[in-house]
Amino acid sequence: MTAAGFRIGGDLEVRRLGFGAMRLPTEPASARATAVTVARRAVELGVTLIDTAHLYGGGANEELLAEALHPYPADLLITTKVGVARSGPSDEWRLDGRPDVLRDQVDRALRRLRVERLELLQLHRIDPGTPLADQVGTLRELRDEGKIGRIGLSEVTVAELDQAREIVEIAGVQNRYSLLDREHEPVLAACEAAGIAFLPWRPVAWGEAGANAEINAVAADLDATPTQIALAWLLARSPVICPIPGTARLSHLEQNIAAADIKLTPPHRARLDRLAETP
């Protein structure tokens, strides 16, 4: 690993500052065209890690990325997530980790993304109604069949991560984490100890970063935006952190990517680190 890059699973190198595609609209046509432009611009700016999921439009977000970026650059990783499905009389989205559902969603993702293998496939959430061993075991089988390259988890505890690792190698964890939200600090520590990529979703606490006086002060010192400071802090926080900020606006995308060039001084780091101690 380097300051700019990380090898997911020990061999799949990506630039640490990635892009979350969840906010890219797939309709109407005018918004979709803008979303395609944003996705392409992210790759032009050097992004090599893009995150999507079956949940994002029931696969529509995956299709959008394929439309925008296929055939993919050799160094681009598009990771997707499975394990949430529409079910019940109201056809609502629910956690669903049954083996047949996971297999079906993986097959659909392969077709939508137009690939033969998903290099990193994440379990969107652990379904409490299905044994963890069945969920992770199914992903292991899909890996052994060549449909998945590496397996990741999302929104897990340290205990769940440990349990999953007894079944199969885990290459990545995607938990909520940011400068102002460090609930999953123990999971980050476990990932760092094991060399597992940690992909914080909601890496910026939306408007909260801009409303925080300490973050604003550091941003003013470094001629940056509060969002850029929040992302720069994540990159400095741990070498396994690979943030995936999302946006549907080109200007925000370019600002986010520029955060990789911001160097926090030790006093600035200390000032931001102390925000975790604020009640």
Residues 219-262 pLDDT 10s: 999 999 999 999 999 999 999 999 999 999 999 999 999 999 99
Eight-state DSSP code of residue 88: T
Q: Has residue 20 got a pLDDT over 60?
A: yes
CA angle 53, 132, 204 (to 5 degrees): 40
For 198-203, what is the mean pLDDT?
95
CA distance linking residue 252 with residue 8, whole number of Å? 26
- In-domain check, residue 200: yes
How far apart, in Å, do the first and last CA atoms of the chain sit?
34
This prediction's pTM: 0.95
Between the alpha carbon of residue 213 and those of residues 226, 229, 235, the distances in Å are 10, 12, 21
Q: Which of 56, 177, 198, 201 is catalytic?
A: 56
- Count of CB atoms within 10 A of residue 104's CB? 14
Task: Decide if 262 is inside a domain.
Answer: no
194 in any annotated domain: yes
56 belongs to the catalytic site: yes
Rounded Cα–Cα distance for residues 146 and 8 (Å): 17
Residue 277 has pLDDT above 70, yes or no: no
Report the C-alpha gap between 121 and 139 in whole angstroms: 8
Q: How far is it, in rounded angstroms, from Cα 180 to Cα 276?
A: 7
Residue by residue, DSSP assigns 151-166 as EEEES--HHHHHHHHT
Q: Which domain holds residue 185?
A: 6-208+240-250
State the pLDDT at residue 210.
66
pLDDT tens-digit profile of 39-97? 999 999 999 999 999 999 999 999 999 999 999 999 999 999 999 998 766 678 899 99
Structure tokens at 141: 């089988």
Instruction: Give the span between the Cα atoms of 117 and 202, in whole angstroms.
Output: 27
**Model pLDDT, residue 279:** 45
Measure the CA–CA gap between 40 and 249, rounded to whole angstroms: 12
Cis amide leading into 28 (omega within 30)? yes
What is the number of domains present in the chain? 1
Residue 258 lies in a domain: no
Strands 19-20 and 49-51: parallel
Q: Is residue 119 part of a domain?
A: yes
The pLDDT of residue 102 is: 98
Structure tokens belonging to residue 13:
């190198």
How open is the CA angle 23-29-30, to the nearest 5 degrees?
75
pLDDT > 70: percent of the chain: 95
CB of 65 closer than 8 Å to CB of 43: no
Q: Does residue 167 fall inside a structural domain?
A: yes
CATH value at residue 120: 3.20.20.100
How large is the C-alpha radius of gyration of the chain? 18
Domain contains 27: yes
Domain contains 70:
yes
SS3 (DSSP) at 95: strand
Cα-Cα-Cα-Cα torsion 162, 167, 169, 175, nearest 10 degrees, comes to -40
**Residue 204: is its pLDDT beyond 50?**
yes
